[in-house]
Structure 1
Amino acid sequence: MPAPSHRRSLRKRRALVVSAAALVAGASAGALVLNANAGTVDLYHQTLAAKDGWASSGTGTTGGTKADAAHVFTVSTRAELVKALGSTSDKTPRIVRVKGTIDANTDDSGKKLTCANYASGTGYSLAAYLKAFDPATYGRSKLPSGTQETAREKAQDKQAKNIAFKVPANTTIVGVPGSKAGITGGTLEIQNVDNVIVRNMTFSATEDCFPQWDPTDGDDGNWNSEYDSVTLRGATHVWADHNTFTDAPRLDSANPTYFGREFQVHDGALDITKGSDLVTVSYSQFASHDKTMLIGSSDTDSSGKLRVSIHHNVWKGIVQRAPLSRLGQIHVYNNFFDTTTLNGYAPQYSIYSRAKAQVVAESNFWKVPSGGKVAKLLKGDGTGSVAGGGNLVNGTTTDVVAAYNAANSKKIKTTANWKPTLTAGLQTSAQNLPTELATTTGATVLKVS
């Protein structure tokens, strides 16, 4: 069990109890006061604590805590969410409380939309697309182009305009506790803005109706899709906390195969790219997904940025990218990685350090099933680093970098060019993480008293 002082810290950080009376007052007053004596916390106005990872650096991350009464919204439909978010050019602080599950694949009246609706009027059909770009006739040396590729792009644009929610600066998006809050089939786009908080949300079934065939991707080609559940591009000071990410209900095992390759409709869960910086991802669950978290979209993304802290998260049924890191300074601590195959998702690796990424991974716990190899928990390209220690595999202290390096020619470097100092909540022992994080992570543990 953690020490008493640590338990008090956890109680404060998790914000497990919210005063119902204070929430009612907040709807009209616009700002609430923490009641320290009663032990209650205003979830909607809570800001990232000091020294809690990279997102607490500099000005910190406060989201929409300064919102006035006119900019506190409760939304339950796609149309309401779009209206509440407004324009990305409007930096007015706002709080968006999501009540229930919002289906992104609906129109403004709430009518359900399908892939057929997005394809209508574009000239796209999957059968025609497959016929046009069959490698047996089209070949494998160039990307698709022509009538059907243009039609696919038009259909994809129609879907994007409907399911992509653009988040402005100084915004807090929080799921109302107990309401099964979240977004299904949609993507939050946090692009070129500063100071955003996303908490207590379940993101599920983010799917691309119109993946593109790329015959030049790898030896056999690949189907590539768009839409991360949450995507950060050029974003700064972002705190993602107590969220749940999953492909459910459509798992990859349900995807058909065309041209001998899986018709992949899922992209990332939470990607941090295009020079995004000062990000903290905490107390979240990532489950049943393939390419989960990409930090840096290319080997030349934005050197000197991509500073990300990832702590107290649960990863299970994750095939890869937990995370894949490029260039940045990444702190991965107190996470629980369950590498048991789940729902057909067989893990390949957890952390990938490439393109001179400076990763510090400490006090994490890996659960490895019988027959699993410790050497496959990491991946490297020969230029990246993974420093740190105190990592456990099945409860035993293990040098996971040494295990990887012993089995691979492209070695992972063992020293980083920086030392984490923003480490609030860091537990030096990872022994109890599997049980502790089972009840303190994800989008269902924050509650209203």
Structure 2
Amino acid sequence: MRTRIWHAHVGASVVGCTALVLGVTGTVAHAQGSHAQGSHVRDLGRETLAVGDGWGSEGAGTTGGAAATAGQVRTVATWAEFKAALQAGGDAPKIIKVKGVIDPVAEGCASFAAPGYDFDAYLEKYSPENWGLDTDLSGEPADSPEGLRAVSAASQDKAIKVEVPANTTIVGVGKGAGIRGGSLQIKGVDNVILRNLTIEAPLDCFPQWDPTDTDTGAWNSEYDAVVVYGSTHVWVDHNTLTDGRYPDSTLPTYFGRTYQQHDGLLDIVRGADHVTVSWNSVEDHDKTMLIGNSDSAGATDTGKLKVTLHHNKFEGIVERAPRVRFGQVDAYNNHFVVTEGQSYGYTFGVGASSQLYASDNAFSLPAGVSAAKTLKKWSEAPLTAENNYVNGRRTDLIAVHNAEIPAETLQSGAGWTPTLRTKVDPPRAVPGIVDGRAGAGKVR
């Protein structure tokens, strides 16, 4: 059983033992000061999620590895050291401090390729002209180009995925710490904190061609940068999540389709619950964030997927910021920036049985991008969207959407009201507040 240790989240309006007003309910909570009091040096690894700071603070809250003994605090500078630190001590509280940039793909994609794998041979055999578009590649033998691709992909999968145990804090040291090309699997555990890291999305070295995906076929990739799968009490704070060196705009085209090498940045799925995502910079990505990954997962997801997103900056994002199924998702004080000329689909995706509450957010949209596109209806599910501002003006997102896209009429009223909120900033002030403080290296 965990003992809750309260510390002030510096990003929230909590200092010392000052009372904290939570949202519009008037609920008051108190938080102890952080380890940075007096002459003590501040230790981000010992800090915990503040009382009332989103769904992650529900119940026992999220303390990560704050209770770690000295022997369970490790500083790592390589991927091998990182993997060893994750495995050490089982579920005992642990703090892992990442120094510099660690990279499981430092030797390049060729290091994972199976003997005999030849991408040109793959393109030749499975081109629409030679293979057609009616049959997938599932029956191909082990020594075929597809079989060799699958072996190569399995090698990369083993190398770049790591499972994060319960009661763990992973924190970057200073402003330059990061994980490049790894996939953090927070799977089936409780009580994890991830802070102050620049995380470059994994680049799938061996995407699979599926001739039957759409009328013209498609390339499909694997690997989320971070996935919260069936886990509870997770705090993702002050990270920068990005495609980094390999934005989609640089990816080549084969068979007339983009050679897609990215999947999600941060997915929260399969009954995950009580998650707070705060003060992150989420940049230059397509399929950004799923909360609930299947319309048919009601047995697993109903009553769960409670997630809070606040004070995050989403810039250059194509879609899924987030796309929601089932969960009670509270999104407030985020800044959504659509850059000039970027591909843009939507921001909030309203999916099966979702209960999205989106308020007090700021949107910066270029000329030619209507506020109607900020919402996308996938299933019949009401949402609350109140006091959001577009280019400095208060805008009723649902009304604008319904007026311009009547074929996807959205219903107002999520059916619940968030109570686990720290200070709610005026949405006009959100760009100035969030842009200067969200992301890795900006913990205050």
Q: TM-score, normalised by structure 1?
A: 0.87
Does residue 143 (structure 1) correspond to residue 136 (structure 2)? The answer is: yes
Q: Hey, what's the Cα distance between the residues in 1 that align with 2:336 and 2:74? A: 36
Residue identity matched to 1:446: V
Q: Hey, what's the Cα distance between the residues in 2 that align with 1:399 and 1:366? A: 12
Does residue 90 (structure 1) correspond to residue 86 (structure 2)? The answer is: no
Structure 1 residue 10: Cα displacement: 7.8
Q: Deviations over 1:228-281 (max 9, x none)?
A: 111111111110000001112112121111111000111111111122111110
Q: Which residue in the other structure is 2:411 paired with?
A: 413
Q: Hey, what's the Cα distance between the residues in 2 that align with 1:396 and 1:276? A: 35
Q: Hey, what's the Cα distance between the residues in 1 that align with 2:388 and 2:13? A: 24
Q: Which residue in the other structure is 1:127 paired with?
A: 120
Indicate if the aligned counterparts of 2:13 and 2:423 stay in contact, CA closer than 8 A: no
Q: Which residue in the other structure is 1:325 paired with?
A: 324
Which of the numbers 437, 440, 445 marks the counterpart of 2:437? 440
Q: Deviations over 1:297-336 (max 9, x none)?
A: 1112322211111110001100111111111111110000
Does residue 270 (structure 1) correspond to residue 266 (structure 2)? The answer is: yes
Indicate if the aligned counterparts of 1:205 and 1:249 stay in contact, CA closer than 8 A: no
Q: Number of aligned residue pairs: give it.
A: 413
Which of the numbers 117, 124, 128 marks the counterpart of 2:111? 117
Judged with a 3 Å threshold, the aligned counterparts in structure 2 of structure 1 residues 14 and 153 are, in CA distance, closer, same or farther, namely farther
Q: Hey, what's the Cα distance between the residues in 2 that align with 1:391 and 1:102? A: 38
Structure 1 residue 166: Cα displacement: 1.4
Q: Hey, what's the Cα distance between the residues in 2 that align with 1:391 and 1:56? A: 25
Residue identity matched to 2:427: A
Q: Which residue in the other structure is 1:64 paired with?
A: 65
Task: Select between 208-217 and 165-174 the one with higher mean Cα deviation.
Answer: 208-217
Structure 1 residue 93: Cα displacement: 0.8
Residue identity matched to 2:72: H
Q: Which residue in the other structure is 1:43 paired with?
A: 44
Indicate if the aligned counterparts of 1:177 and 1:446 stay in contact, CA closer than 8 A: no
Does residue 223 (structure 1) correspond to residue 219 (structure 2)? The answer is: yes
Q: What SS does structure 2 have at the residue aligned with 1:206?
A: coil
Judged with a 3 Å threshold, the aligned counterparts in structure 2 of structure 1 residues 12 and 378 are, in CA distance, closer, same or farther, namely closer
Q: Deviations over 1:195-235 (max 9, x none)?
A: 10000000114200011112222232221111111111111
Residue identity matched to 2:331: V
Residue identity matched to 2:372: A
Q: Hey, what's the Cα distance between the residues in 1 that align with 2:358 and 2:34? A: 36
Indicate if the aligned counterparts of 1:367 and 1:394 stay in contact, CA closer than 8 A: yes
Q: Hey, what's the Cα distance between the residues in 1 that align with 2:433 and 2:9? A: 10
Structure 1 residue 347: Cα displacement: 2.1
Query: 5 Å matches for 1:194-209?
Result: 194-209=190-205
Which of the numbers 149, 155, 158 marks the counterpart of 1:158? 155
Q: Which residue in the other structure is 1:20 paired with?
A: none
Indicate if the aligned counterparts of 1:275 and 1:306 stay in contact, CA closer than 8 A: yes
Structure 1 residue 11: Cα displacement: 4.7
Q: Hey, what's the Cα distance between the residues in 2 that align with 1:415 and 1:33? A: 38
Structure 1 residue 131: Cα displacement: 2.1
**Structure 1 unmatched ranges of 5 or more:** 1-8, 17-31, 106-111
Indicate if the aligned counterparts of 1:382 and 1:412 stay in contact, CA closer than 8 A: no
Which of the numbers 233, 246, 257 marks the counterpart of 1:261? 257
Does residue 300 (structure 1) correspond to residue 292 (structure 2)? The answer is: no
Q: Which residue in the other structure is 2:4 paired with?
A: none
Q: TM-score, normalised by structure 2?
A: 0.88
Indicate if the aligned counterparts of 1:381 and 1:412 stay in contact, CA closer than 8 A: no
Does residue 426 (structure 1) correspond to residue 424 (structure 2)? The answer is: yes
Which of the numbers 393, 396, 402 marks the counterpart of 2:393? 396
Structure 1 residue 143: Cα displacement: 2.1
Residue identity matched to 1:253: S
Q: Hey, what's the Cα distance between the residues in 1 that align with 2:182 and 2:14? A: 27
Residue identity matched to 1:79: A
Structure 1 residue 33: Cα displacement: 7.0
Give % identity.
45
Q: Hey, what's the Cα distance between the residues in 2 that align with 1:379 and 1:307? A: 20
Q: Deviations over 1:53-73 (max 9, x none)?
A: 111111111101111111100
Indicate if the aligned counterparts of 1:381 and 1:411 stay in contact, CA closer than 8 A: no
Q: Which residue in the other structure is 2:56 paired with?
A: 55
Structure 1 residue 386: Cα displacement: 2.1
Q: Which residue in the other structure is 2:353 paired with?
A: 356
Q: What SS does structure 2 have at the residue aligned with 1:129?
A: helix
Q: Hey, what's the Cα distance between the residues in 2 that align with 1:354 and 1:313? A: 21
RMSD value, Cα: 2.2
